[in-house]
Structure 1
Amino acid sequence: MVQEGQSQGREKAAWWFQVRLWSVALISIALIAACFILSCVVTYFKCDRTGKKLSELQTHYSSLTCFSEGTSVSEKVWGCCPSTWKPFGSSCYFVSTEQNFWTKSEQNCVGMGAHLVVINTEAEQNFIIQQLNESLSYFLGLSDPQGNGNWQWIDKTPYKENVRLWHQNEPNFSAEECASIVFWNQRGWGWNDVFCDSSRHSICEMKKIYL
């Protein structure tokens, strides 16, 4: 009877061991499956957003130019701009050859999936001015709608926390409620307040598309 009890005890222990083993295996499989599904969902939404953005751009542009921007964990990352735009950092830039007043210039940028340029760093401005003509003036995405010194970037970037590269003693006239970038002899490139209804060239900016 003792041996039979011991045998049953060993069988029961072996059975519980198998149960625990299978439980661990099933839990592991479930976790792996959950991670796989989550990865697929994240990839789907990422690809879906990229696809929608590319679809929007294709309504305005026939081709994109892409540049390798390093690698991610699983694949290369490519930053793309419309072929006629210039890439810098995470943005693409377009210098308009047409002259318009500020509001119309912004509308034209929006029509191309962009907005008037927002300059965040001196390095960004140094890149942009390489694309400009020193004899011309270009609207920025910066304005003072109330003429009270409350300058605002078109994309809601905080003005007071951002770089400010005005020419010396500018802005200097409350009725000039829009900003431009212009080259002045002896001073180089800098920002100047101008009338919003004056006719000027402009610079558009959009975020790169990453593939």
Structure 2
Amino acid sequence: MVREGQSRGREKGVWWSQVRLWTVAVVSLALLSACFIVSCVVTYHFTYGKIGKRLSELHTYHSSLTCFSEGTRVTEKVWGCCPSAWKSFGSSCYFISMEENFWSKSEQNCIGMGAHLVVINTEAEQNFIVQQLNESFSYFLGLTDPQGDEKWQWIDQTPFHENVRFWHPNEPNFSAERCASIVFWSPGKWGWNDVFCDSKRNSICEMKKIHL
């Protein structure tokens, strides 16, 4: 009888050990699941929450958006959206304004649409933009020389790189002309020119594209 009791005791001990093991496993799995859910919620909040906020902001300026398929990201499609009537290129949307204004007023108009005057970072971007322009007009860029000391600055604080500039020959050439425009000069070339900020010109607005 003693041996049988000892056997039952060992069996009970093994059983309790297995129960504890399974309990630990279940609790661990529950904690992992909770962490995963929290992670998903946080990711959704920061990713899709920001997208939703940006879409909401755009809808306050624009009645409709146009979205373009831009390939796939893992298993889901990626869509890039711009306001209707804006042009899509790279990660940005562009609007060609045919309303002539001073530089400051042109920038205010862009801000009023959730954008800013265009910032040109690459030759490919410049080539795309000039395809949308009318050779008869000059267009303000988001580029200024506030002090007239040849320290040109982009409106969005993008560093002004000497190797990414498209001035016409011998431009800029006058310190009192503290704003930049893009203009077509013969023979057959678009380029930048320094101009008076209080002159009236057309303009180009740029905003970041929304990706869904």
Identity %: 64
Find the aligned partners of 1:141 and 1:163 in 2 and give their Cα distance. Answer: 14
Give 2:142's aligned residue.
Answer: 141
Give the Cα–Cα distance (whole angstroms) in 1 for the partners of residues 98 and 189 of structure 2: 21
Moved more, 173-182 or 32-41: 32-41
Range that drifts further, 42-51 or 139-148: 42-51
CA distance in 2, matches of 1:161, 1:8: 84
Q: How many residues are aligned here?
A: 211
Q: Which runs of 5+ in 1 are unaligned?
A: none
Distance in 2 (alpha carbons) for counterparts of 1:164 and 1:9:
83
Q: In structure 2, how many angstroms separate the alpha carbons of the residues matched to 1:13 and 1:59?
A: 67
- The answer to whether the 8 Å contact 1:166/1:192 transfers is yes
Alpha-carbon distance in 2 for matches of 1:185, 1:69 = 37
- What TM-score do the two structures reach when normalised by structure 1? 0.93
Do structure 1's residue 107 and structure 2's residue 95 form an aligned pair?
no
> Which residue of the partner structure matches residue 186 of structure 1?
187
Equivalence for 1:21:
22
Deviation at 1:137, TM superposition (A): 0.9
Residue equivalent to 2:54? 53
SS at match of 1:99: strand
Q: Aligned-pair distance for 1:103?
A: 0.6
Give the CA deviation at 1:27: 0.6
Offset from partner CA, 1:82-135 (integer Å, 9 cap, x none): 111000011100000111111111001001110000001110111000000112
Where in structure 1 do 4 or more consecutive aligned residues deviate above 4 Å?
A: none
The residue identity in structure 2 corresponding to 1:192 is N
Q: What residue identity is the alignment partner of 1:157?
A: T
How far the C-alpha of 1:17 sits from its partner, in A, is: 2.4
The Cα RMSD (Å) is 1.7
Give the letter for the 1:81 counterpart.
C
Q: TM-score, normalised by structure 2?
A: 0.92
Aligned match of 2:166: 165
Q: Could you list the runs of 5+ residues in structure 2 that have no partner in the other structure?
A: none
